[in-house]
Structure 1
């Protein structure tokens, strides 16, 4: 259990992008992830280094990192966004809670 679990008041459905097939992108079955979701427009860099606009970000436990590959689908309240990038925030020897920040389209 993370020290931040009390702040993870939102639930999103994540479909991890697993590759590309003959008919387009291929995604894993959706799984629910507890998180903090915040609308926040800002410029970020995508996996190709281009500046793109992120419309929101979410924070969640670092154990969820494998689910958030670039271009994975994230759905909340019927709205779907795509993962732009993932930042792992660790405290090292400071003994503070570690978490992920995920930028979404």
Structure 2
């Protein structure tokens, strides 16, 4: 029996552009270099808890490889051109008999 340890690449049919949040500067938020990320995107409204404990409405989420972890506040451009921000990132399935992945919740 073949054990899948990562989400299969064949399932990552969407591409988003992620610009990582690097901190605050004298002129506001600072960002790094954008990178394309293969993922499985779901546009669905749901309530999630932000890192500071607030309940926030998420309008989309995506799963991708388990090593992907953009900081909260990072900018994400969806395939249709809509730009949103990362609320939370959760690593799923590490050490379990299911495919490991990162789930990124977007505002």
- State the Cα distance separating 1:2 from its structure 2 match: 4.0
Show the counterpart of 2:75. Answer: 73
Secondary structure at the aligned position of 1:70 is classed as: coil
Q: Identify the match of residue 48 of structure 2 among 44, 51, 54.
A: 44
- State the Cα distance separating 1:29 from its structure 2 match: 1.0
- State the Cα distance separating 1:90 from its structure 2 match: 1.6
- State the Cα distance separating 1:9 from its structure 2 match: 0.5
Q: Which blocks of at least 5 consecutive residues in structure 1 are unaligned?
A: none
Number of equivalenced pairs: 102
Matches within 5 A, 1:1-105: 2-65=6-69, 68-76=70-78, 77-94=80-97, 96-105=98-107
Structure 1 CA distance, aligned partners of 2:11 and 2:96? 23
Choose between structure 1 and 2: higher strand proportion: 1
Root-mean-square deviation (Å): 1.5
Q: Which blocks of at least 5 consecutive residues in structure 2 are unaligned?
A: none
CA separation of 1:19/1:9 partners in 2, compared to 1, >3 Å: closer, same or farther? same
- State the Cα distance separating 1:3 from its structure 2 match: 4.5
- State the Cα distance separating 1:72 from its structure 2 match: 0.3
> Deviations for 1:56-99, whole angstroms, at most 9, x for unmatched residues?
1100001222xx100100002211010000111025242x2100
Choose between structure 1 and 2: higher helix proportion: 1
